[in-house]
Amino acid sequence: MEVRLEKAREYDAQSIFESQVNAFLPLLNVYKDYSTNPANETIGSTITRINNPSGGLFKIVMDSTLVGAIGVSCKKETQFWISPMFILPKYQGQGIAQKAITQIEKSFPQAVSWELATIAEEKRNCYLYEKMGFTKTGLIKKINDGMTLVYFKKLL
């Protein structure tokens, strides 16, 4: 299984957007987080991420199949933010996200820190990020009665 990142282009927007909705819709149905869930965004958000000059949106490709995406933006010169990152449900649990994080870190060698937020109640996500060297910052944001975002940071 070869996993690689490819910088997304505007012509990729529709397929990435559809994949994003597919990946995040189960979470939207569980947590009802209509203001934060990427399944509730428009294709315009995908295009904006693709054209972000301080990062971009990268397709996660396994062999020749689009299996997810990872968005990156530069907060400050050496501080980067990951959002969104997703793997299509049928490809989850295969180590693809770990490979994508490792590759995105190598793609931005100037980074001294990486940050992201995830749903605290999604223990598999939290475990993944901790396994990849991220630590909780202590910042949490309650979205609704059933969902809290927890923030992570990794220093390189």
Which pLDDT band holds residue 8 (cuts at 50, 70, 90)? Answer: very high
Residue labelled with tokens 């999604």: 122
Look up residue 7 and give its two tokens.
């910088």
Residue 125 has pLDDT above 90, yes or no: yes
Amino acid at 84: P
E strands, 21-134, where? 55-62, 65-76, 79-87, 113-119
**Portion of the chain with pLDDT greater than 90, in percent:** 99
Region 69-92: what's the mean pLDDT?
Answer: 97
pLDDT of residue 62: 97
**Portion of the chain with pLDDT greater than 70, in percent:** 100
d(CA 52, CA 40): 20
Distance from the Cα of residue 116 to its chain's centroid? 8
Look up residue 1 and give its two tokens.
């299984």
pTM score: 0.96
pLDDT of residue 1: 83
pLDDT tens-digit readout, 48-58? 999 999 999 99
d(CA 135, CA 44): 32
Residue 37 near residue 28, CB atoms below 8 Å: yes
Domain 3-155 of CATH type 3.40.630.30: yes
Residue 68 near residue 87, CB atoms below 8 Å: yes
